[in-house]
Amino acid sequence: MKKKALPILLALGLSLLSACRNNEKAAPSPEQRAAQLVAQLTLGQKAGLMMHPSAPVEELGIPAYNWWNEALHGVARNGVATVFPMPVAMAASFDVPLVGQVFDAVSDEGRVKNRQARESGHVGWYQGVTFWTPNINIFRDPRWGRGMETYGEDPYLTGQMGMAVVRGLQGPQDAEILKAHACAKHFAVHSGPEWNRHTFDAQVSERDLRETYLPAFKDLVTKAGVKEVMIAYNRFRGEPCGMNDYLINTVLRGEWGFEGIVVSDCWAIKDIWNTHKVLPDAAHAAAAAVHTGTELNCGETYAHIPEAVAAGLLDEADVDKALIRLLAERIRLGELDGNGGDWDALPDEIVEGPEHLALSRKMAEESLVLLHNNGILPLSDGTRVALIGPNADDREMQWGNYNPIPEKTVTLADALRERIPDLTLIRGCGLVDSLENDLLWRLRGNDIVVFAGGISPRIEGEEMPVDLPGFRGGDRTDIEFPAVQRSLIRRLQAAGKRVILVNFSGSAMGLETETLTCEAILQAWYPGEEGGHAIADVLFGDVNPSGKLPVTFYRHTADIPDYEDYAMEGRTYRYFRGSPLFPFGFGLSYSRFTYGEARVESGRLIVPVTNESAVDGTEVVQLYVRDPEDTDGPLKTLRGFCRVTVPAGETVEAAIPLTDETFLAWSEAEGDMVPKHGRWELLYGGSSDALRVLAYEYQ
């Protein structure tokens, strides 16, 4: 061991000695215990403990552990577990408490699976309790294939949803044994393209950085106490994120006081020298990343740590500091001792059990967004419909990506057969090809057609080997509804059929033509294993739709800027100056809501909402703010929302808190977002494009 490594270990040792003298019964803190272990390790052993498959050190009682686990919308890649809707779908619910319940259930299932693994004698890949979720990158461009993993295009909504995920996954922070780790990813300024993410250099202004790309990360770190932050593959202002001193030390550790673990995206440290080519080899990359503060390497580049120390590229004290943090967290999780605490009492039966299936179904119901309805919906009980389309009976499509494998998935075909035993089911075409020419005669007697179309996680997603019309590498090259499906819908309409489009996708699509050829459009996302039931319930009126769009649906690809341009101008509802097809926050209901005059009372915006229909319904009341003096800033920006259930014919008052953070504005002098006193406009309503305005003086 180098002499330079001694000061940190000596200090922690003295702290431990002092604690023992003051209280003979005091147990060492996790950091003190970790320091004791680190002091006994060789440099090679230290390196082995800083990679995602952490090697055991049997003589010190340190078991093997694999840090890599996924729980994007269910415990993933580890057999049977409940599949909830994709995150972009959950965002459409605008239901923060429900998202928290979902991820509490997810980590319950994760703890059961971890206990089962420990009982088998080995905790391997996807069996730990360190979950690399949520993805809180801003979905700035609908062409990004991974956008379905996020909570949409708005920083405030993303932060609210992300904090619910963290709190649900991690559980009580005062628990003797922590339930799990959540991980905020990908830090920072990362949202495609997939095809060049290992070489791309994201350049953004400080204003866009602080106003759009960082707020959700700040929320999760400073308010929700997220335990891990994952750095992105790309460079940021010329420096790879895994060794980016500004992001990691100035912002994350310095300004926000983050004390958790910084983990690399998988093989991102290798990218530093292999694809970004900013350093000559693996030893230099490992040294730079560890020195900057990336403690955990998903990958194997940290195997070169001993080489880096021997070459004088890295101080062993930096290695010790990183490893003490890693081992201390393993102790807090009970993992180092093979002890799950009270979490070990969770029964096996909860995994994809009735309560979690009901929760998945409720989440799917609230995520569905009714975009268009000429009065055909809801369907009356007993209505005969035919079901057509490539996504009508596709179980895997409903699972999304980073998913579990459920025991049973209810497709739309399954759910409609429960209502219509002799349901006519015709595929009709593929996602992008294979149009059937002889289907119209099979539709005799069916004037209403439910068309289950859209796209699929088989062709949009993370860095995929896909090269199809409109798709590249997991991303989309245009946002149009697939031409073969568009053609089939036109044929159905020309034949006199009334078409209800159920659109499955993880991203916004250009559906302008479909508003003319379809009598209704329901955005279904990738709705999880209970998605079929949820969709059928909305189509037949058993559930009144309440979902709202967490992303803007543009009319055409030409409406959005160059994909590789990270400047926010022209992007999302906050900066888009055109006319969207369906705006952010939009979603129809079977109820008819009207808004009264809002007032400010006791630090809250009070908004009267009246249901002028004969159907009970739930409305998402949204608060946006605008600084009338800021000509360069967003046109409006979401700063609050509230789900309210309004009985038929009644009025309910929604209350949205007004705090300092409601009035955050960019300050050139501060170089950050700060509360701004003075004139503001409070804009409130049921979508970002249907708002009433209240002038307000913030004191």
Give the helix ranges, DSSP H, for 497-613.
512-517, 531-539, 572-575
Distance separating alpha carbons of residues 662 and 672, to the nearest angstrom: 15
β-bridge pairing 651-657 and 604-611: antiparallel
Report DSSP letters for 439-506, one per residue. Answer: -GGGGTT--EEEEEEE--TTTSSSS---EETTEEBTEES--BPPHHHHHHHHHHHHTT-EEEEEEE-S
Angle (nearest 5°) at CA 560 between 559 and 566: 165
Bond into 358 cis (ω within 30): no
Greatest alpha-carbon span in the chain: 89
**Cα torsion angle, 286, 288, 293, 294, sign:** negative
List, by residue number, the catalytic residues: 265, 460
Is residue 371 within a helix (H) or strand (E), and if so which, with residue range?
Answer: strand 369-373
Show Cβ contacts of residue 443 under 8 Å, excluding neighbours closer than 6 positions: 386, 424, 426, 449, 492, 495, 497
Q: Which candidate, 528, 506, 415, 407, places its Cα nearest to that of 456?
A: 506
CB atoms within 10 A of CB 7: 11
* Cα dihedral 669/675/679/680 (nearest 10): 120
Q: Which residue type does 286 have?
A: A
Q: Which residue type does 151 have?
A: Y
Give the helix ranges, DSSP H, for 518-557.
531-539
